[in-house]
Amino acid sequence: MVEHEAGAGSGAAGEPGAGAESPPPLPDLVDAGMYLVDDRGRIIQVNSAAEKLLARTADELLGQDAHELLHRDARGQTIPRAQCAMMQSFLGASTGRGQGWFERGDGSPLPMSWLVTPCRAGAGRTGAMVLFHESTPLDGAQWQESGTSAPRSELDRLALLAETTTLLTSTLVIDETVQRLEQLVVPRLADWVVVDLINEGGEVQRASVVGHQEGHLVHLTELEGPMPPVPEESPLPLPRALRGAASTVASPSDYERSPDSGIAVAQRELFRATGMHSAAIAPIRGLREVIGALTLGRSTRPEEFRTRDLSLLNDIARRAGLALDNARLFQRQRRIAETMQRHLLPRLPGVPGVQMTVRYLPSPEASQVGGDWYDAFVLPDGVAALAIGDVVGHDLDAAAGMAQVRNMLRAYAWAAQEPPSVIVDRLDQAMQHATDASMATLIFARLERRAEVGDWCLTWTNAGHPPPMLVHHDGRVEFLDGGHDILLGTGISTRRTDASLALPPRSTLVFYTDGLIESPGHSLDAGLLRLSRTAASLAHRPLDAFCDLMLSRVRPADNEDDVAVLALRLPHSG
């Protein structure tokens, strides 16, 4: 690394918010502009000649990405990083020179000659110094640097990047995004790929160490998992990438001296276990922050990674960062929505002698909330009220409508000891004027212990919902089809009916939503048959195991709907 310490002189200095020691001011030269960039390529110092040549003030330059702000071709267009000779010198930490164009503050082009050389950027951090002066305009549109050539054809490179964008942005699952990234780069670009991710707590997790061996992708799981903290000042490649510094090449020789941190020890072990003799490491950046690092390694192929390979790696890492950032945002929304759903769904009451349990599975494609719901509560007369329903929709609006319907049902049921059909009819009339729910299905029931005859009696009404399932202790299954009327919210006036049934001892009563039995490729009858056969085989299982096994065996693999289940088991006798 060539080190440069600028002499004294006037000029702007400092990196806003850096919190680190600033390098000395840049000198004023007769006709040459000078600026300093940090390890991310951001401008951290300029001299007054640079301000004059670029027609930009220091405030307009400091903190900006120099490539995005200044580097242009003869037509005034931003140069792809992969084709920018100045970026090649910067990424390779090597001295380079050439000719090209900068864009002035007024939008006009500045033909100039430039020199880039590595230097210190304060507090032990590396960067680069750029020295430039106005020159005769070039005839062509290229930026040239002796000895630099693209390792892959531009068509191949663009095809790979297009494939990367398509594959990585078509999923919102972090693990699947990482897996697709592995398949994209190994063995096409490297023998090994390593993905390190920074979680929301700032901890580093080695998400993937994958190599190509005998035609297959193989995980080294013993190297995956939590990583030591990222040191603030380590000059080694991985910590620098995880801090957001520019991409770089690395080799086992970087770790020959005593390791400066636990993460350096982990990297030494990585090179030893994989046999990598050359690696290229780039930061993975999201929209707001660095979220990890991408490492490509070569072990069986003899050629080493070179500076010219880093531009393609940067482009891949940039696309991976956007995909992973979107996946993280989606997961964060799912967690928030799931917490909301848990608060919307009630706790179960204690009913003496009756076991009761519930399950709720959100739609795998939705935002973890929906219109499926259940409820159970004890009425003033001591009777247990049971409900299960489904408000149309699979989003936050459906969840809000569900909460309104459930709360209104509770209020009507508590206010008057009336048959379920009367209460549901009153709810149907109110829904059209007092809730945001459009339509909904519902079963509302009363479970009453009749002490005079020593049994339990279920009285229910059904507003367009799949029928409850009664599983006898001996394995016989029946669906309770009585009391079935049209769904809520249609605006059609109807006289709802009730049905009643004495429940046998040790039987299991199951209320469920249609996501348990419906799927695009099967009929409703097929789903009910699958449910009844499965329930019959589980009749003697404990209630919690009964529900878990029923869900795992019955819920269709292609189901895209929520599932709610309310199950209860009667005692041996009344």
Q: Give, as one character, the DSSP assignment of residue 296.
A: E
Average pLDDT over the chain reads 84
Residue ranges of domains in the chain: 12-134, 154-333, 345-569
Task: Show Cβ contacts of residue 381 under 8 Å, excluding neighbours closer than 6 positions.
Answer: 417
Q: Average of pLDDT values for 367-384?
A: 82
Query: What torsion, rounded to 10 degrees, do the Cα atoms 544, 550, 556, 562 define?
Result: -30
pLDDT at 9 over 60: no
Cα gap 480→469, rounded to integer Å: 6
Write down the number of H helices and E strands in the chain.
13, 25
pLDDT tens column, 451-478: 888 889 999 999 999 999 999 999 999 9
Cα gap 503→529, rounded to integer Å: 22
Residue 207 Cα distances to 181, 226, 253, angstroms: 12, 8, 24
What are the tokens at 51? 């301000």
Q: Which CATH class is domain 345-569?
A: alpha beta
Query: Which of 52-66, 368-382, 547-561 tops mean pLDDT?
Result: 52-66
The 3 state secondary structure assigned to 194-230 is EEEEECCCCCEEEEEEEEEECCEEEECHHHCEECCCC
Q: Average the pLDDT over each of 9-18, 117-126, 183-192, 559-568 and give the range with the smallest value.
A: 9-18
Q: Average of pLDDT values for 180-208?
A: 93
φ, ψ for residue 229, nearest 5 deg? -60, 155
With 0-12 / 13-18 / 19 or more C-beta atoms within 10 angstroms meaning exposed / middle / buried, residue 260 is middle
Cα gap 117→97, rounded to integer Å: 9
pLDDT tens column, 90-111: 877 778 888 889 999 998 899 9
Residues linked to residue 445 through DSSP beta bridges, in sequence order: 386, 460
The bridge status of strand 96-103 relative to strand 43-46 is unpaired
Report the pLDDT value the prediction gives residue 574, as an integer from 0 to 100. Answer: 58
The bridge status of strand 192-198 relative to strand 204-213 is antiparallel
Cα gap 567→470, rounded to integer Å: 10
Report the pLDDT value the prediction gives residue 122, as an integer from 0 to 100. Answer: 64
How many Cβ atoms from other residues are within 10 Å of residue 12's Cβ?
Answer: 20
Residue 414 Cα distances to 81, 398, 489, 568, angstroms: 69, 24, 22, 22
Do the domains 154-333 and 12-134 match in fold? yes
Q: Average the pLDDT over each of 138-142, 171-175, 430-434, 440-444 and give the range with the smallest value.
A: 138-142
Report the pLDDT value the prediction gives residue 441, as an integer from 0 to 100. Answer: 93
Does domain 12-134 correspond to CATH entry 3.20.20.80?
no
Cα gap 541→407, rounded to integer Å: 33
What are the tokens at 32? 């040459």
pLDDT at 395 over 70: no
Report the pLDDT value the prediction gives residue 7, as an integer from 0 to 100. Answer: 37
Cα gap 82→282, rounded to integer Å: 14
Sign of CA dihedral 187, 188, 193, 198: negative
Cα gap 18→298, rounded to integer Å: 35
CATH number of 154-333: 3.30.450.40
Q: Average the pLDDT over each of 224-233, 317-326, 360-369, 530-539 and give the range with the smallest value.
A: 360-369
Percent of the chain with pLDDT over 90: 50
The pairs formed by 376-382 with CB atoms below 8 angstroms and a separation of 24 or more are 376/346, 376/348, 376/349, 376/566, 377/346, 377/349, 377/410, 377/413, 378/349, 378/351, 379/413, 379/414, 379/417, 379/446, 380/414, 380/417, 381/417
pTM score, two decimals? 0.53
β strands within 266-409, DSSP E? 278-285, 290-298, 355-361, 372-378, 384-391
CB 379 within 8 A of CB 414: yes
- Please tell me whether residue 335 adopts helix, strand or coil conformation: helix
Cα gap 175→380, rounded to integer Å: 50
Report the pLDDT value the prediction gives residue 148, as an integer from 0 to 100. Answer: 38
How many Cβ atoms from other residues are within 10 Å of residue 439's Cβ?
Answer: 20
CB 270 within 8 A of CB 194: yes
